[in-house]
Copies of this chain bind each other. A is one copy, B any other.
Amino acid sequence: MSDAVPDMRELGSKVSNWGRWGADDQRGATNLITPERVRAAAGLVRRGDIFDLGIPLDSDGPQPGGARINPIRLMSENGQEQVLPGGYRWADDYVFMPLQAASQYDGLAHVHYDDRLYNGHPGDSVTVKGAAFNGIEHQARGIAGRAVLLDIARLKGVDWLPAGTAITPDDLDAACEAHGVTVGPGDILLFRTGYRRRFLTERDPASFMAGEPGLGLATAQWLRDRDVAVVGSDNWGIEVLPGEREGALFELHMVLIRDMGLTLAELLDLEELAEDCAADGVHEFFYAGPPLKFTRGIGTPINPLAIK
């Protein structure tokens, strides 16, 4: 129902967090991750089991080429020609990669419209040198706290949702209900579409990237009502693609990042974690997903840990 899709700029204005943490703020919704909430979240570590949510960084990744490639790691030393005292040998490697090639945060300078970034910082401050405002380094102190997994694919009884499936506020509510979990202020919300499983099954970057299931525009209000701090998923762009409005692209990106100041965690592997949550019925846990501190960076590769 395209006519039910909210207007992007109206929606953005309604859910906006601009000014909420001061005119100079460059962190956005991760401000919601307060020490009290971190302390409380630590109490979610009940067994001490760690699940790593990052996907491998190698040439078998999901990037089909074009704007982004898979990481290219090359050795600079393997010891072969070294003649060192004691017969010691050492190895070293380099990488060339897009910071958004695999599991990643989209920082708050990643997208914008109407010449303004999150919190009103000027759009042309993103230059050839990177983000003068809202760079990923401003998230360095985090991101750790309470996280909730909503397993939408399992709820719908499918291995993965097909591309173009818009997840609605009702879907999120139904998942909370089914999992017996609530989502609240400062939470890191992870939702599973099964799309990582699709990639692991098909190993076809081009079709994987051609579209995706994901959040519909209306969920922005749902996330804002609950004051979520970070949204993450196993798809590659959080939102449904093709979008809900004909010809529109990445409208939810604009609203979440530019208006709400949400950091997005994309291309996660939630498979093992989801199995575990289904098995023990516990869908909340401690999450520790530090970004790398790329000064003025647009994004960062990550390997977040979920600890139950």
> Shortest beta-carbon distance, A50 to chain B, in Å?
5
How far apart are the CA atoms of A42 and B43 in the complex, in Å?
A: 7
Cβ-closest chain B residue relative to A69? B69
Q: Which residues of B contact A14 (CB under 8 A)?
A: none
- Tell me the residues in window 95-140 of chain A with beta carbons closer than 8 Å to chain B beta carbons: 95-100, 109-114, 123-124, 126-132, 137, 140
Select which of B51, B131, B286, B303 is within 8 A of A292 by beta carbon. Answer: B303
Tally of chain A residues near chain B (CB < 8 A): 107
Q: Which residues of B contact A123 (CB under 8 A)?
A: 79, 89
Task: Tell whether A144 pairs with B50 under 8 Å between CB atoms, given A88-B113, A88-B254.
Answer: yes
Q: Which residues of B contact A226 (CB under 8 A)?
A: none
Binds B, one of A175-183, A189-197, A228-236, A245-253: A245-253
How far apart are the CA atoms of A77 and B209 in the complex, in Å?
A: 19
Q: Decide: A95 and B92 in contact? CB cutoff 8 A.
A: no
How far apart are the CA atoms of A46 and B39 in the complex, in Å?
A: 6
Q: Decide: A91 and B111 in contact? CB cutoff 8 A.
A: yes
Residues of A that sit less than 8 Å from B by CB: 8, 34-43, 45-52, 54-60, 64-81, 84-100, 109-114, 123-124, 126-132, 137, 140-142, 144, 247-251, 253-254, 286, 288-299, 301-305, 307
